[in-house]
Amino acid sequence: MVEALPYYVPNRIYLLRRHRFGNFVMFSRAGELNTNLGEILDESRILKEVTGAPVIVLLSHKLDELVPDKSYAEGYNWTFKASAEQIQEFKNKTKLLSRFGRAQTDESYDVYLFD
């Protein structure tokens, strides 16, 4: 969702499904095919501890629209899901910074600060 970001600011981008920093997503089966909101929280905690830097999370799914435990298709044969507990914990551990509303493409997302 943010491949253009490095052209404007030097922020590092963590690629959750590849478990590494990078500037673009390679659509392949090399990364995690299935992920969930709990994993996003776990990785955010680790990144905050290791880097000491603020962690910004971009979600293409709207928390208020997620159906707990439903599997959502994403990108290249990927899935995403969230339990009711994960949704509540995410809301408790993050602050909504901005909402980039519905777009004609998949580039609409909410921006959160992990606390």
11-41: per-residue pLDDT in tens?
787 777 677 777 665 555 555 567 899 999 9
**Beta-bridge partners for 19:** none
pTM for the structure as a whole: 0.80
> Strands 55-59, 72-74: parallel, antiparallel or unpaired by DSSP?
unpaired
Distance CA 55, CA 48 (A): 6
Do the strands 72-74 and 78-81 form a parallel or antiparallel pair, or are they unpaired?
antiparallel
Contact status, residue 44 vs residue 61, Cβ threshold 8 Å:
no
